[in-house]
Amino acid sequence: MKRLLDVVGAAAGLLLLSPLLLGLALLVRVTSGAPVLFRQVRVGRGGRDFTLYKFRSMTVCRAAERGTFDAGRSARVTPVGRLLRRTKLDELPQLWNVLRGDMSLVGPRPEVRKWVEAYPERWARVLAVRPGLTDPASIVYRREEELLAAATDPERAYREDVLPAKLDLYEAYVRAHGVGRDLVILWKTVGAVVWR
């Protein structure tokens, strides 16, 4: 049932939102050039790598595609990128990841390997399920960038404070996930974005 929800939801989303997706792609292209999409290797179900897609919201930095840490550093965010990030519209291309089976609509957010290797035993439990577009941690930490920007050492704050707390929420989700709960999380995510 969960995979059926993913396929139907992602396909419907891509179809219904295609004018918006095209418009956003053109906006990124016109205001900050190519490429329109940001691609980054993330760790998926069972520890397998996959390529995650987003609308590019920052100036081009090839190192970022290999997983460098930019949290809390907003200097590279483009003006259009700020809008995309605030509204979470930059995440919409991941509907393609969901349709392909790399991700689910709801599930723990995928990380780059650097952060998976920071807590390998915990991630082994979390990656028993497909990573998702949203989950409870995405709602709780919807202002994560602002939190890290205020930290003296954003990378340390992420490693020692934010990531362990997110892993608590990820593990709780894995222990009790189901279609009904996923629908509630999707509804709460919409509310969190709208009322941000």
SS3 content of the chain, % helix, strand, coil (to 5): 60, 10, 30
Strand locations in the chain (E): 37-43, 49-55, 104-106, 132-134
Taking the C-alpha atoms of residue 194 and residue 174, their distance in angstroms, rounded to an integer, is 26
Q: Which residues pair with 49 in a beta bridge?
A: 43
Stretch 50-79: mean pLDDT: 76
Predicted pLDDT at 1: 87
Say whether pLDDT at 65 is over 60: no
Name the 3-class secondary structure at 124. Answer: helix
Residue 10 in tokens: 């992602």
* CA–CA gap between residue 148 and residue 164 (Å, rounded): 14
Instruction: Let me know the angle formed at the C-alpha of 141 by 39 and 102, rounded to the nearest 5 degrees.
Output: 35
What integer best gives the mean pLDDT of the chain?
92
pLDDT in the model for residue 180:
92
Q: What is the predicted pLDDT for the residue at 194?
A: 76
Position with higher pLDDT, 70 vs 127: 127
Give the per-residue pLDDT at 195: 74
Output the pTM of the full model: 0.89
Mean pLDDT of 42-47: 97
H or E element that contains 129: none
- pLDDT for the residue numbered 196: 61
Q: What Å distances lie between residue 47 and 106, 120, 168, CA to CA?
A: 18, 10, 18
Q: What distance in Å separates the CA atoms of residue 170 and residue 122, rounded to the nearest whole number?
A: 9
pLDDT band at residue 69, thresholds of 50, 70 and 90?
low
Bridge-partner residues for 72, per DSSP?
A: none
Rg (CA), the chain: 16
Phi, psi of 106 (to 5 degrees): -125, 130
Quick one: pLDDT band at residue 62, thresholds 50, 70, 90? low
Distance (Å, rounded) from C-alpha 110 to C-alpha 174?
14
